[in-house]
Amino acid sequence: MVELPSLRDLLDAGVHFGHKTSRWYPKMAPYIFTSKSGVHVINLEKTAEKTAEAVAFIRKEAEAGKIMVFVGTKKQSGEIIKQAAIKCGMPYVNNRWLGGAITNFEMIKSAAKKLKKQKEELENEENSELNKSELSKMRKDAIRGEKFLGGLVGLERKPDILVLFDAHDETNALKEAIVANMPIVALVDTNANPELITYPIPANDDATKSVSLFANLFADVIIEARAKSAKVAAK
């Protein structure tokens, strides 16, 4: 079974570093250990406790075949989130959240299908009936589409769970999930409201080591859970 990170693992990844005390969200008080040099320090025992709860939920839902969309659009962590999602076969958004990705999923699904067709056309452009100008325009459209929709190509139904790697900045995704009554797992730094999240994990959401630790933990748990489910189904 995938092991949960130890307190040392969390410490080494810088999970305990919060934001400046002037930027804190008061409802994060139960998860703050102290402050040092004007910066809040997260209580890693609380982080470990909440991580265990979130992982248990992810494991159970993955075994049930639920779809979880990984979302994190910060420049420094976008590639980490993309690779973790690809590793476990989950959709992702790592550039910019497109409005309606949850609340108007059919529109997003249609745009993703269009992108898929464009990519297939360009991969076989020597046999295409389009002229060079048309292919050039399609290539530009596909490059832009890949940036915003690439992680959603092939997604046939609306995700069941939102996995956020920044509860403070990813407000559009968060609002849509709340409207859709969708469960949310999220890293919650000291400047965010944990009460909006179904499974909040108090953690540094800026450091790449911290984001990588959680992204890969979730991915590994999903892989393990799906393998278990497949094994049961095969019997």
Residue in 153, 158, 69 with CA at minimum distance from that of residue 115: 153
Query: DSSP readout, 4-32?
Result: PPPHHHHHHTTTTEEEEGGG--GGGGGGE
Residue in 185, 121, 108 with CA at minimum distance from that of residue 152: 108
Tens-digit pLDDT profile for residues 178-223: 999 999 999 999 999 999 999 999 999 999 999 999 999 999 999 9
Residue in 226, 194, 188, 228 with CA at minimum distance from that of residue 67: 226
234 burial type by CB count under 10 A (0-12 exposed, 13-18 middle, 19+ buried): exposed
The CB density around residue 174, as the number of other CB atoms within 10 Å, is 24
Tens-digit pLDDT profile for residues 61-105: 999 999 999 999 999 999 999 999 999 999 999 998 989 999 999
CA distance linking residue 7 with residue 33, whole number of Å: 14
Tens-digit pLDDT profile for residues 107-145: 999 999 999 888 888 887 776 777 878 878 888 888 888
What domains, with CATH codes, occur in the chain? 7-97+158-234 (3.40.50.10490), 106-147 (no CATH)
pLDDT score, position 139: 86
Mean pLDDT calculated for residue range 18-27 = 97
CA distance linking residue 115 with residue 52, whole number of Å: 38
Mean pLDDT calculated for residue range 45-60 = 98
pLDDT score, position 127: 65
Structure token pair of residue 112: 């993703």
pLDDT score, position 170: 94
